[in-house]
Amino acid sequence: MPAHDVIVLGLGGMGSAAAAHLAARGARVLGLEKFGPVHPHGSSHGGSRITRQSYFEDPAYVPLLLRAYELYERLERDTGRRIALYCGGVMAGPPDSRTVAGALRSAERWGLPYELLDARELRRRFPTLTPADGEVGLYEARAGLLRPERTVAAHLQLATRHGADLRFEEPVIRWEPYRDGVRVHTPDDTYTAGHLVVCPGAWAPRLLADIGVPVRIERQIMYWFQPRGGTGSYAPDRHPVYIWEDAAGSQIYGFPAIDGPGGGAKVAFFREHGAPCTPETIDRTVHDHEVRAMAARLDSCLPTLPGALIKAVTCMYSTTPDEHFVIARHPAHPGHATVACGFSGHGFKFVTVVGEILADLALDGTTRHPVALFDPARFASPPA
């Protein structure tokens, strides 16, 4: 019998959640992570992530979001950490934009509570936002933000509490099917297990080259500005998170000032300006022209935000061609491994439910959650 039931490769957002769910179900779990616990080298750092339910990307995500919200609440209860802040959220832009029309479609389809605000009402409720006449915003009271580092720390804490063996600074070099399970090699040792769960984030193109999904790794930037006139009107009890699409279809998103008077408020482009990179070659320096481009964009919609730049930090998206996730048994080795990658810049709000799904797939081979959208077979080329 192998020494472990399941090995989890990568203990970032998804892997730490998988390890926690697997260990809580009584599986003997070994977690292997290239870096230390809760690190800034992948995709799960930067202090905040937006969460929302009126999901403009596709209404198919909504049932998963409802479960993710429940599991985030449970995670806070189980670990005593404050992870979520439901400050409300505005999806803004022209009425027919993907952001507004898509959010409205999801809200209507699933009966989610929302308010549709015209430009005047938006300016009155949220004076920092200056939409042009004709722009609208869908307001969702249950939207808000999650703390990514605390989420990862909480899942690592739970996994350990339930007996998982978590090893850091121990990268997986390669793995192969072995008997009924897998054999996994690191510089330190070789391990065997009944099953492998691969959650490699931006390292997917190398570690999952054989699943037939072209995952593109993109360099993205998060900016923290000190609002002109102070952070008062950006306080989380009066400022929502927002995603804002302009007439050309370009989206920015941002947060209230959650780190006190000196911490500024964070803002970023969504899925845009993402230069292709690899974890080894990414340019971690943020350049003046990039800061100027963001400040110029803010002038038209949040003109009081771009005061002094406090900091700017890079992060990697792992983007699939259709921007939907990949979560499934490994197509080439379905009896041996389960994969989770290609979260395309919108995965964090799902971390808890993805952990649950990965535990289902690893232990039972199936899940009650709707995951058809995430099947890697959608990229398989038709037979010649």
What residues line the site for ligand FAD (CB under 6 A)?
9-15, 32-35, 42-44, 46, 49-50, 171-172, 199-203, 207, 220, 222, 268, 315-317, 343, 345-349
Contact 30, 164 (CB under 8 A): yes
Cβ at position 363, least distance to ligand FAD in Å: 19
Q: Which is nearer to ligand FAD, 137 or 254 (CB)?
A: 254
Q: Which is nearer to ligand FAD, 171 or 212 (CB)?
A: 171
Q: Which is nearer to ligand FAD, 1 or 17 (CB)?
A: 17
Q: Which is nearer to ligand FAD, 36 or 230 (CB)?
A: 36
Closest C-alpha among 83, 82, 102, 79 to residue 92: 102
Q: Which is nearer to ligand FAD, 126 or 255 (CB)?
A: 255
* SS3 per residue for the chain: CCCEEEEEECCCHHHHHHHHHHHHCCCCEEEECCCCCCCCCCCCCCCCEEECCCCCCCHHHHHHHHHHHHHHHHHHHHHCCCCEECCCEEEEECCCCHHHHHHHHHHHHHCCCCEEEEHHHHHHHCCCCCCCCCCEEEEECCCEEECHHHHHHHHHHHHHHCCCEEECCCCCCEEEEECCEEEEECCCCEEEEEEEEECCHHHHHHHCHHHCCCCEEEEEEEEEECCCCCCHHHCCCCCCEEEEECCCCCEEEECCCCCCCCCCEEEEECCCCCEECCCCCCCCCCCHHHHHHHHHHHHHHCCCCCCCEEEEEEEEEEECCCCCCEEEECCCCCCCEEEEECCCCCCHHHHHHHHHHHHHHHHHCCCCCCCHHHCHHHHCCCCC
Cβ at position 12, least distance to ligand FAD in Å: 2
Q: Which is nearer to ligand FAD, 234 or 350 (CB)?
A: 350
Indicate the residue whose CB is closest to ligand FAD: 12
Q: Which is nearer to ligand FAD, 329 or 349 (CB)?
A: 349
Count CB atoms within 10 A of the CB of residue 350. Answer: 23
Q: Which is nearer to ligand FAD, 118 or 338 (CB)?
A: 338
Cβ at position 62, least distance to ligand FAD in Å: 14
Phi-psi region of 210 (alpha: psi -120 to 50; beta: other; left: phi over 0): alpha
Q: Which is nearer to ligand FAD, 27 or 143 (CB)?
A: 143
Residues 344 and 274: their CA atoms lie apart, in Å, by 11
Cβ at position 48, least distance to ligand FAD in Å: 7
Cβ at position 185, least distance to ligand FAD in Å: 10
Cβ at position 229, least distance to ligand FAD in Å: 26
Residues 2 and 7: their CA atoms lie apart, in Å, by 11
Cβ at position 126, least distance to ligand FAD in Å: 19
Contact 80, 73 (CB under 8 A): no
Q: Which is nearer to ligand FAD, 124 or 287 (CB)?
A: 287
Cβ at position 226, least distance to ligand FAD in Å: 20
Cβ at position 75, least distance to ligand FAD in Å: 15
Cβ at position 124, least distance to ligand FAD in Å: 26
